[in-house]
Structure 1
Amino acid sequence: MTSLPPLQQLITRFQEQTPIRASSLIITLYGDAIEPHGGTVWLGSLIQLLEPMGINERLIRTSIFRLAKDGWLSAEKVGRRSYYSLTGAGRRRFEKAFKRVYSASLPAWDGSWCLLLLTQLDPEKRKQVREEFEWQGFGAISPLMLACPSSDRSDVATSLQELGVLEDTIMFETKAQDVLASKALRKQVRESWDMNELAAHYSEFIKMFRPLWQVLREQEVLEPSDCFLARTLLIHEYRKLLLRDPQLPHELLPGDWEGRAARQLCRNIYRLIYSKAEQWLNTSLETADGPLPEVGEGFYQRFGGLK
């Protein structure tokens, strides 16, 4: 139980979900906290760590089993204890998702676009490609073409290869435009990406976490357990938003885009509490060799620098 009312409200909100998304929270925990410490923990310590979230042992065990069955995690038995690690495929999925969460800022846009023409795919494969690439920032500018203003060609090719459609998808790259965001292009963006709904979700995120930010700043001493709970819920909610966000270049976004304020708020809270949260993780989680390994320097590059 936390003594911070805004944090308790966030925990209660999570507990009131039907059903509780324990698997999704565990994914957040691995990506934000466990992977930087080597990626392997004892299941028992994981159960104890998440108990304040209102997730019982049975649900955690069931969720871990499903994540292992789906190829996210693998188990190793040492005596009677089970230690869970990310699989190679799971790690690659984490890297894709969490790279967007902690990036310092969006790279500058030169006006070029990546286009995927899906005319040679059957309807079922076309649906799979659209679902995969929507969370990577692509929008449908027609039923048979996807477009993205900021994508890495090698990442796109890798995703197409993993879907088994690399040889059947036509990829184009346009040259930089003199006018990066014309009236017609802005209109097309509004049609191809549902930015109004996303803006509403960002506004809700700000409404949820701004009271927490205000309370945390007023504390003379921050409790490590509170900082862990706050950090986990913060990244959990922000990660879910980014999965919906195509992260369009600034030139294509409204001047009052709520995503900018939400990112600043997330970064401010994270920088304030990450160190105390690390203390709690180091005392709560175990590996087969004992305490957690120290995080690498890459951890401190999150949000443009934590130190």
Structure 2
Amino acid sequence: MTVVEEVAGQAGALQPRQLIVTLYGLYAREHGSWLSVAAVVRLMADLGVEESAVRSSISRLKRRGLLDSRRVDGVAGYALTEVAEEILADGDARIFGRRRADEADGWLLVVFSVPESERDRRHQLRSQLTRLGFGTVAPGVWVAPDHLADEAAEVLGRRGLAGYVEFFRGAHLALGEVPDTVARWWDLDHLHARYAEFLDRQEPVRERRAADDGAAPEQAFADYVRLLTDWRGLPYADPGLPLHLLPADWNGARAADLFADLSGRLTGPAHDHARRLIGA
């Protein structure tokens, strides 16, 4: 697993290290990107994670270059590294601000060529394009909705990969049905299944919140951290294609609406609870 994948999150059961990354992304950056070990242990206890698992996960995140040990006023703790802060900042825009393309946007084509002697850079480039939401047209030819152009240029430039790529804008002059072509460029079945799993896990949370909107702050906190950890990998996998190019039973929009609804309900009480625990 790459550092970016560690931060973005993967499908499946939520791991303590993923929950810790979410905690740092949500709450540490307003405290100088640092949290004391004691605060992390308290926060994770409300998520049902024991202290031994917390310390083990922090050690792993430190080895991955995402956290650095640091004492503040004599208190032991860990701070986000520059790499982690950069990835989390990218994630903020992707998770909370990314829009869906419409038909008028057109397409962005990326063509790249990497010498055989730099195969590691080729792997990095493919990983970055996948994370940005590009689909594969042919070896060395990737496509995405055009509204991703600025983000792609900025991210590839920052990673030192811009020199390997050429960008083109244009329309798709299809000889067949565009939705059929799109389904060859992206694995929409897999993404549909991931959205279905998200809906299965989070719909019961909405039902519970609707039945008892005055739930304890610690429950709102736990629900919100799990919600964001569960969600944050999906915007990296979804290219944000226009809805008319997607299958009729597409569930991504419904999942996005559910995420927005629960976020609106949970953000405030979760933040208040976290702030109390961090300051304890």
Moved over 6 A (4+): none
Q: Distance in 1 between matches of 2:98 and 2:105?
A: 21
Q: Distance in 1 between matches of 2:41 and 2:189?
A: 38
Q: Distance in 1 between matches of 2:213 and 2:54?
A: 34
1:25-64 matches, within 5 Å, as: 25-36=19-30, 38-64=32-58
Measured against aligned partners, the alpha-carbon deviations of 1:87-108 in whole angstroms (never above 9, x if no partner) come to 2221110011232211274365
Structure 2: tracts of 5 or more residues without a match: 1-11
The alignment yields a C-alpha RMSD, in angstroms, of 2.6
Q: Distance in 1 between matches of 2:80 and 2:206?
A: 32
Greater alpha carbon shift after TM alignment, 75-84 vs 271-280: 75-84
- Structure-1 residue corresponding to 2:231: 238
Q: Pick one of 131, 134, 157 that aligns with 1:161.
A: 157
- Structure-2 residue corresponding to 1:139: 135
Q: Distance in 1 between matches of 2:220 and 2:153?
A: 39
- Cα deviation, residue 61, structure 1: 2.0
Q: Pick one of 55, 63, 72 that aligns with 1:78.
A: 72
- Structure-1 residue corresponding to 2:169: 174
Q: Distance in 2 between matches of 1:109 and 1:80?
A: 56
Q: Pick one of 204, 209, 218 that aligns with 1:216.
A: 209
Q: Is it true that 1:115 corresponds to 2:106 in the alignment?
A: no
- Cα deviation, residue 188, structure 1: 2.1
Q: Distance in 1 between matches of 2:82 and 2:260?
A: 29
- Cα deviation, residue 54, structure 1: 3.1
Q: Distance in 2 between matches of 1:243 and 1:104?
A: 10
- Structure-2 residue corresponding to 1:149: 145
Structure 1 residue identity aligned to 2:207 = Q
Greater alpha carbon shift after TM alignment, 62-71 vs 212-221: 62-71
Q: Is it true that 1:21 corresponds to 2:15 in the alignment?
A: yes
- Cα deviation, residue 118, structure 1: 2.2
**Corresponding residue SS for 1:27:** helix
Q: Pick one of 243, 246, 254 that aligns with 1:253.
A: 246
Q: Is it true that 1:101 corresponds to 2:103 in the alignment?
A: no
Contact 2:101 2:240 in 1 (8 A): no
Assess, with a 3 A threshold, how the Cα gap between structure 1 residues 220 and 208 changes in structure 2: closer, same or farther. closer
Q: Pick one of 172, 182, 194 that aligns with 1:189.
A: 182
Q: Distance in 2 between matches of 1:121 and 1:148?
A: 24
Contact 1:28 1:235 in 2 (8 A): yes
Assess, with a 3 A threshold, how the Cα gap between structure 1 residues 263 and 228 changes in structure 2: closer, same or farther. same
Measured against aligned partners, the alpha-carbon deviations of 1:22-48 in whole angstroms (never above 9, x if no partner) come to 222211222233335543221111111
Q: Pick one of 257, 265, 278 that aligns with 1:272.
A: 265
Assess, with a 3 A threshold, how the Cα gap between structure 1 residues 106 and 24 changes in structure 2: closer, same or farther. same
Structure 1 residue identity aligned to 2:165 = I
Contact 1:22 1:60 in 2 (8 A): yes
Contact 2:145 2:239 in 1 (8 A): no
**Corresponding residue SS for 1:285:** helix
- Cα deviation, residue 136, structure 1: 0.7
Assess, with a 3 A threshold, how the Cα gap between structure 1 residues 84 and 61 changes in structure 2: closer, same or farther. same
Q: Distance in 2 between matches of 1:95 and 1:182?
A: 40
Structure 1 residue identity aligned to 2:137 = I
Q: Distance in 2 between matches of 1:240 and 1:148?
A: 18
- Structure-2 residue corresponding to 1:202: 195
Structure 1 residue identity aligned to 2:273 = W
- Cα deviation, residue 162, structure 1: 4.3
Assess, with a 3 A threshold, how the Cα gap between structure 1 residues 104 and 218 changes in structure 2: closer, same or farther. farther
Q: Distance in 2 between matches of 1:271 and 1:182?
A: 44
**Corresponding residue SS for 1:99:** helix
- Structure-2 residue corresponding to 1:4: none
Q: Distance in 2 between matches of 1:72 and 1:151?
A: 29
